[in-house]
Amino acid sequence: MTAPRGREVVRARRAVAGLFLLNAMAYANVVPRLPTIKTGLGLSNTALGTAVAAMPVGALVAGLTAGRLIARVGSARVAVASAIGMGLVLQGFAQAQGWAGLAATFTVLGALDSLMDVSMNAHALRVQRRFGRSIINSLHGLWSIGAVGGAAVGALSAAHGVTLRLHLALAGASIGVAAAVLRRSLLTGPDEAVATDLAAGDPVAIRPAAARRVLALLGLLVVLAATIEDAPQSWGAIFLRQELGAPVALGGLVFIAFQTSMTVGRLLGDRAVDRFGPISVLRAGGALTAVAVGTALVVDEPAVVVAGFALAGLGTAPLFPVVFHAAGEVPGVSTGHGVATVAWLSRLGFLVAPPIVGTVGDAVSLRAGLVIVPVAGLLIAALAGAPTRRAHRDQATVEPYDPRS
């Protein structure tokens, strides 16, 4: 039965959509300015990579507390407070005096991003239950649109000579004010508790150890996806400028192209999954990413690099939604726990990838460091069916789990 949609729920849907946009726009404003930050602080590729890696470190730590914080004060308050905090901390990128200041800024931004990510998704699911049909996929599509918009603002600011300090001050203030305005339209009251599968005595649940193996395989897939997604935002602008000599105004094009095609892929992803199945879609996406970016790294031409990462965005687009859905369907594991687990694991990809690329970039070349992207695509294509095979094997060999045992 479809739930009635009053004005309150419609307003809440629009407000939570606004939060997704703001969350994406915050760091996306910084991405095209990374070459300026790197040059201004005199950092090597390795130094920048390790500074960027501080962002997922902050996210991993904060992610451990997000659930308890939301339970205590509510998803709406946490999401809005985190958005305002992200707006404020953007100025840290302009104020940093060296590597330590930059890494500290990335750490705080990562922590706030993690809290906002979990809380805005929790509130979105609350709105979705009231709305009566799925809206979460479209919200993630809006996130991608926000990322493109934020990167475009950053690129235009760089192209027109707007100082880093002024650009990020205006962007941060806009995000903070918008979040405060949206707060009035979000749902009020405590977040509803959702019963877990084990509490319900799921008759097809498998043993916890078997469920953990399935979640680990799903987590590996999102780590690989995060590795691919990190490349255009952390290194796209620098690769075009440093390796190919492209003008600074073109620096944001790799990230913009990636996010634009990812948006299209997410809007079309449901139809593709319904028609061809999730495993086939993931395999095709991984293979497309490997071929496209592999070709881009061989051809010494900025336009080919932009096109290659655009195709990678299209190929990677369905991975997070498909894996999150699968994690929520693991027998014997609550939906919230499954999704939270793979979301936390995805941060490892953002933690590991930047220093690997930066270190290889200093030792060999940035082109060599970015080979990690086609390798990750090939691994996704090879491992796409592994979680399903593991789940079927465990269900076939393990007796139904009795939560009373």
Residues 85-99 have pLDDT tens digits of 999 999 999 999 999
pLDDT at 398: 40
Task: Single out the residue of 348, 351, 371 nearest to residue 361, CA to CA.
Answer: 371
Residue 395 pLDDT level (bands cut at 50, 70, 90): low
- The answer to whether 89 touches 25, Cβ cutoff 8 Å, is no
Between CA 65 and CA 118 the distance in angstroms is 10
Most confidently predicted of 44-48, 293-297, 387-391: 293-297
Expressed in angstroms, the distance from the first to the final Cα of the chain is 36
Q: Which residue has the higher pLDDT, 226 or 241?
A: 226
Q: Which residue has the higher pLDDT, 276 or 207?
A: 276
Same topology for domains 1-193 and 198-405, yes or no?
A: yes
Structure tokens at 76: 């709406």
Residue 396 pLDDT level (bands cut at 50, 70, 90): very low
User: What are 152-177's pLDDT values in tens digits?
Assistant: 999 999 999 999 999 999 999 999 99
User: What are 323-338's pLDDT values in tens digits?
Assistant: 877 776 677 765 556 6
In CATH terms, the superfamily for domain 1-193 is MFS general substrate transporter like domains (1.20.1250.20)
User: What are 185-235's pLDDT values in tens digits?
Assistant: 999 877 754 433 333 334 345 567 777 888 889 999 999 999 999 999 888
Percentage of the chain lying above the pLDDT 90 cut: 46
Structure tokens at 398: 């393990």
Does the reported pTM lie above 0.95? Answer: no
Average pLDDT, rounded, for the chain:
84
pLDDT at 215: 86
If one looks up domain 198-405 in CATH, what number appears? 1.20.1250.20
- The answer to whether 310 touches 260, Cβ cutoff 8 Å, is yes
Between CA 119 and CA 70 the distance in angstroms is 7
Q: Does position 405 have pLDDT exceeding 50, yes or no?
A: no
pLDDT at 134: 67
Q: Does position 322 have pLDDT exceeding 90, yes or no?
A: no
pLDDT at 329: 67
Rounded to an integer, what is the distance from CA 169 to the centroid of its chain?
Answer: 24
Give the residue extent of every domain in the chain: 1-193, 198-405
Average pLDDT over residues 40-51: 91
pLDDT at 96: 94
Evaluated on CA atoms 175, 177, 182, 188, the torsion sign reads positive
Q: Which residue has the higher pLDDT, 124 or 391?
A: 124
pLDDT at 255: 87
Look up tokens 């009053």; give the residue: 6
User: What are 356-378's pLDDT values in tens digits?
Assistant: 998 998 999 999 999 999 999 99
Between CA 31 and CA 251 the distance in angstroms is 9
pLDDT at 187: 92
